């Protein structure tokens, strides 16, 4: 269980079974503890020391889990017409099945994500238990006898499936060094875009040839397979959890109660009010008191809202104007996935050629240096809205609005990656609260837009409805540039942001 270690001057050696464990003697509140840490810089239990192949595989697992949950939002849209006919409800009521799912995973991380940060629990149990419940809760959706049951369980499935959507990036940061983690998070971001986009494609063909219930069956099959895969292959990635369990195991083996991990010391005196503050109060406090977070969260909320607006706008354009069937309408969403994949090539080149050289020897980087991709991406969103809106007419080939729509994921991927990295670097001590607040604001706003999008596109027409959203996107274009230029000054005036770089 234990390994021989490199001995440091301040180490004491606790022995058992003829082997030694490196510990550091520390004094905390008048009591002596021996701090259990890694068995040297090359400790294979440290996720940062895993092989590249293992890191890539774990990244794939996190992305697959993300797709398996995110696809659940939009896979339902292929069966909306069937829901309307089965339960005799309006389109707005049927659309609540999408809205409540998204609202569920907006609220869920506020309650569930802190569990993944708790060292006694860790990330793996939270992912597995919530995914199992997610699979189970989809059965009441499939067999719902009325619209109320369907909507309640759509909210609950979104709620319970939410942890990876908020902490997936943290899982990747557990295993990749700071200079490389942006690549992994970029790929994870593409998976987050592709999940909802694949929903109408998969669900459209199912609803066309079977019933709306088959869209949820497909979600159960995918998430169930993901659950089985993760049970057998997903390792724990949280360093705090690994060391916490190591210290617990060593205390039992050696019989020395003074062996503690850093996580033991951090959680021993933690009170309920501290947990409540970190989980609920602080995300709201930071979101609305910090100008940097206020404007960037508002920007990402708009982008996210536009993403979910597509799920109502595409059927209007490609079904009503171009006469696509349900399955073909789902295929139209592939243009968004293609755009997201294409933009990753220049983004990764920029990371390698420019971003990596901006880190200092300690692995730190000025947060504002994360923002140039967002400056570029901000222009893609309005270009997309105007190109899509004014080319969506029978006299123009259907490929043209698809090309216009492909600019959206290019902008979205650049904006999401740049801004989320910027927020994390600007508020490193509160990154959990910052990202939880971002998720809540972004998803809450995104959940509402599909409710009025069909009426807006029908009343204003596709051209002017898209233009209205395009003008709104133009209003946000200056934000990344202004933060790039003045963000450092704003950070220095904050009591929460980083000041040392």
DSSP string covering 110-161: HHHHHHHH-TTT-HHHHHHHHHHHHHHHHHHHHT-SSHHHHHHHHHHHHHHT
Judgement on whether residues 154 and 193 belong to the same structural domain of the protein: yes
Lowest mean pLDDT among 9-13, 327-331, 400-404: 9-13
Residue 258, H or E segment: none
Q: How many CB atoms lie within 10 A of CB 247?
A: 25
Lowest mean pLDDT among 271-285, 306-320, 378-392: 271-285
Q: Are residues 141 and 257 in the same domain?
A: no
Tell me: do 295 and 426 sit in the same domain: yes
Question: pLDDT confidence of 7, banded at 50, 70, 90?
Answer: very low
Query: In the prediction, which pLDDT does 297 show?
Result: 95
Give the DSSP letter of residue 234. Answer: P
DSSP assignment of 157-190:
HHHHT-HHHHHHHHHHHHHS-TTTHHHHHHHHHH
Residues 35 and 113 in one domain: no
- Asked whether the beta carbons of 39 and 45 are under 8 A apart, the reply is yes
> Is 303 part of any domain?
yes
What is the structure's pLDDT at 31? 55
Which of 19-33, 361-375, 427-441 holds the top average pLDDT?
Answer: 361-375
The reply to whether 223 and 155 lie within a common domain is yes
Least trusted range by pLDDT, from 198-212, 315-329, 384-398, 423-437: 198-212
Lowest mean pLDDT among 6-10, 83-87, 199-203, 208-212: 6-10
pLDDT of 373: 97
In a domain, 306, yes or no: yes
Residues 332 and 429 in one domain: yes
Q: Could you tell me how far CA 118 lies from the centroid of its own chain? A: 19
pLDDT digits (tens, 9 = 90+) for 331-375: 898 999 999 999 999 999 999 999 999 998 888 899 999 999 999
Question: What is the maximum alpha-carbon separation in the chain?
Answer: 82
Instruction: Give residue 494's pLDDT.
Output: 93
Check whether residue 37 and residue 109 sit in a common domain.
Answer: no
What's the predicted TM-score (pTM) here?
Answer: 0.88
Number of residues assigned to the chain: 501
Residue-level pLDDT at 281: 79
Residue 407 has pLDDT above 90, yes or no: yes
Tokens of 490: 């704003």
- Burial of residue 453, with CB atoms counted within 10 A of its CB: 0-12 exposed, 13-18 middle, 19 or more buried: buried
User: Rounded to an integer, what distance in angstroms lies between the CA atom of residue 421 and that of residue 431?
Assistant: 10
**Residues 457-462: contacts with CB under 8 Å, at least 24 apart:** 457/312, 457/313, 457/316, 458/316, 462/313, 462/316, 462/317, 462/321, 462/388, 462/389, 462/392, 462/393
Check whether residue 445 and residue 379 sit in a common domain.
Answer: yes
Q: Work out the average pLDDT over 108-134.
A: 90
Q: Which residue has the higher pLDDT, 473 or 269?
A: 473
pLDDT class of 2 with cuts at 50, 70, 90: very low
Same domain? 319 vs 261: no
First to last CA, the chain: 41
- 488, part of any domain: yes
Q: Which of 191, 215, 237 is the last residue of a domain?
A: 237
For the record, the structure tokens of 480 come out as 């990344």
pLDDT of residue 204: 79
Rounded to an integer, the average pLDDT of 29-41 is 76
Q: Is the pLDDT of residue 155 over 60?
A: yes
pLDDT-derived band at 282 (thresholds 50, 70, 90) equals confident
The pLDDT-based confidence of 19 (bands split at 50, 70, 90) is very low
31-36, strands of its sheet edge to edge: 11-16, 19-28, 31-36, 259-260
Do residue 252 and residue 196 come from a single domain? no
Instruction: Select the highest-mean-pLDDT range: 154-158, 306-310, 314-318, 323-327.
Output: 154-158
CA dist 162 and 308 (Å) reads 17
How many domains in the chain?
3
Per-residue pLDDT, 4 = 38
Strand 31-36 to 19-28 pairing: antiparallel
Asked if 349 and 456 sit in the same domain, the reply is yes
Residue 12 has pLDDT above 60, yes or no: no
Q: How far is CA 94 from CA 74, 77, 78, 87, 152, in A?
A: 13, 9, 11, 9, 12
- How many Cβ atoms from other residues are within 10 Å of residue 73's Cβ? 30
Confidence of residue 23 (pLDDT cuts 50, 70, 90): low
CATH code of 366's domain: 1.20.1250.20
In this predicted structure, what is the pLDDT of residue 233? 98
Please tell me the least confidently modeled range out of 1-5, 33-37, 373-377.
Answer: 1-5
Which residue has better confidence, 284 or 407?
407
Cβ count near 288 (within 10 Å)? 12
Please tell me the distance from the alpha carbon of residue 247 to that of residue 262, in angstroms, as a whole number: 9
pLDDT at residue 17, rounded to an integer: 40
Considering the domain boundaries, does residue 333 fall inside one?
Answer: yes
Is 308 domain-assigned? Answer: yes
Domain contains 334:
yes
Residues 6+ apart with CB under 8 A from 184: 55, 59, 172, 175, 176
Of residues 91 and 407, more confidence is placed in 407
Asked if pLDDT for residue 267 goes beyond 80, the answer is: no
- Please tell me whether residue 26 adopts helix, strand or coil conformation: strand
Residue 246's domain comprises: 11-43+240-270
Whether the per-residue pLDDT at 275 is higher than 70: the answer is: no
Burial environment of residue 363 by CB neighbours within 10 A (0 to 12, 13 to 18, 19 or more): exposed
- Structure confidence at residue 1 (pLDDT): 39
Per-residue pLDDT tens digits for 52-91:
999 999 999 999 999 999 999 989 988 888 999 999 999 8
Q: Are residues 125 and 261 in the same domain?
A: no
The percentage of the chain sitting over the pLDDT mark of 70, rounded to a whole number, equals: 91
Tell me which of 329 and 317 has the higher pLDDT: 317
Residue 14 confidence class, pLDDT cut points 50, 70, 90: very low
217 domain residue, yes or no: yes
What's the chain's average pLDDT?
88
- Return the closest-CA partner of residue 412 out of 223, 108, 196, 204: 196
**Burial degree of 121 (CB within 10 A; 0-12, 13-18, 19+):** middle
The answer to whether residue 5 sits within a structural domain is no
Cβ-Cβ contacts under 8 Å for 378 (sequence gap 6 or more): 411, 415, 473, 476, 477, 479, 480, 481
């Amino acid at each position: 269980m234990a390994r021989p270690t490199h001995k440091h001057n301040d180490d004491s050696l606790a022995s058992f079974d003829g082997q030694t464990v490196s510990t550091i003697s520390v004094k905390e509140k008048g009591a002596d503890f021996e701090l259990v840490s890694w068995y040297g810089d090359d400790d294979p239990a440290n996720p940062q020391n895993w092989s590249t192949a293992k890191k890539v595989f774990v990244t794939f697992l996190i992305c697959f889990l993300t797709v398996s949950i995110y696809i659940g939002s939009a896979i339902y849209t292929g069966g909306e017409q069937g829901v309307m006919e089965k339960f005799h409800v309006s389109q707005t009521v049927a659309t609540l099945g999408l809205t409540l799912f998204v609202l569920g995973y907006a609220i869920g991380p506020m309650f569930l994500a802190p569990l993944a940060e708790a060292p006694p629990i860790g990330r793996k149990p939270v992912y597995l238990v919530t995914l199992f419940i997610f699979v189970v809760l989809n059965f009441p959706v499939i067999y719902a006898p009325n619209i109320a049951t369907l909507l309640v369980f759509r909210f609950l499935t979104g709620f319970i499936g939410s942890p990876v959507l908020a902490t997936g990036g943290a899982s990747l940061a557990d295993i990749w060094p700071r200079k490389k983690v942006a690549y992994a998070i970029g790929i994870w971001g593409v998976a987050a875009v592709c999940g909802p986009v694949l929903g109408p494609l998969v669900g459209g063909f199912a609803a066309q040839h079977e019933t709306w219930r088959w869209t949820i069956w497909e979600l159960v099959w995918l998430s169930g397979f993901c659950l089985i895969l993760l049970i057998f292959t997903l390792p724990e990635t949280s360093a705090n959890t690994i060391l916490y369990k190591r210290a617990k195991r060593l205390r039992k083996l050696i019989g020395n109660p003074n062996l503690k991990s850093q996580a033991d010391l951090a959680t021993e005196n933690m009170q309920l009010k501290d947990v409540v503050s970190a989980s609920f109060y602080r995300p709201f406090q930071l979101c609305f008191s910090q100008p940097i977070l206020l404007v960037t969260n508002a920007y990402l909320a708009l982008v996210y809202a536009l993403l979910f607006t597509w799920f109502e706008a595409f059927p209007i354009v490609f079904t009503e104007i171009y006469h696509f069937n349900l399955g073909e309408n789902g295929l139209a969403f592939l243009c968004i996935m293609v755009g997201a994949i294409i933009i990753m090539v220049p983004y990764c080149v920029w990371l390698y050629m420019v971003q990596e050289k901006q880190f200092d020897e300690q692995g730190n980087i000025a947060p504002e240096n994360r923002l140039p991709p967002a400056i570029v991406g901000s222009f893609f969103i309005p270009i997309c809205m105007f190109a899509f809106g004014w080319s969506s007419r029978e006299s123009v080939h259907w490929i043209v609005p698809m090309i216009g729509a492909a600019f959206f994921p290019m902008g979205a991927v650049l904006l999401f990656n740049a801004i989320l990295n910027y927020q994390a670097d600007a508020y490193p001590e509160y990154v959990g609260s910052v990202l939880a607040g971002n998720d809540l604001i972004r998803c809450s706003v995104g959940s509402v837009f599909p409710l009025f999008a069909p009426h807006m596109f029908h009343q204003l027409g596709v051209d002017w409805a898209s233009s209205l959203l395009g003008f709104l996107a133009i209003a946000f274009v200056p934000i990344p540039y202004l933060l790039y230029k003045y963000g450092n000054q704003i950070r220095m005036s904050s009591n929460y942001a980083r000041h040392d770089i």
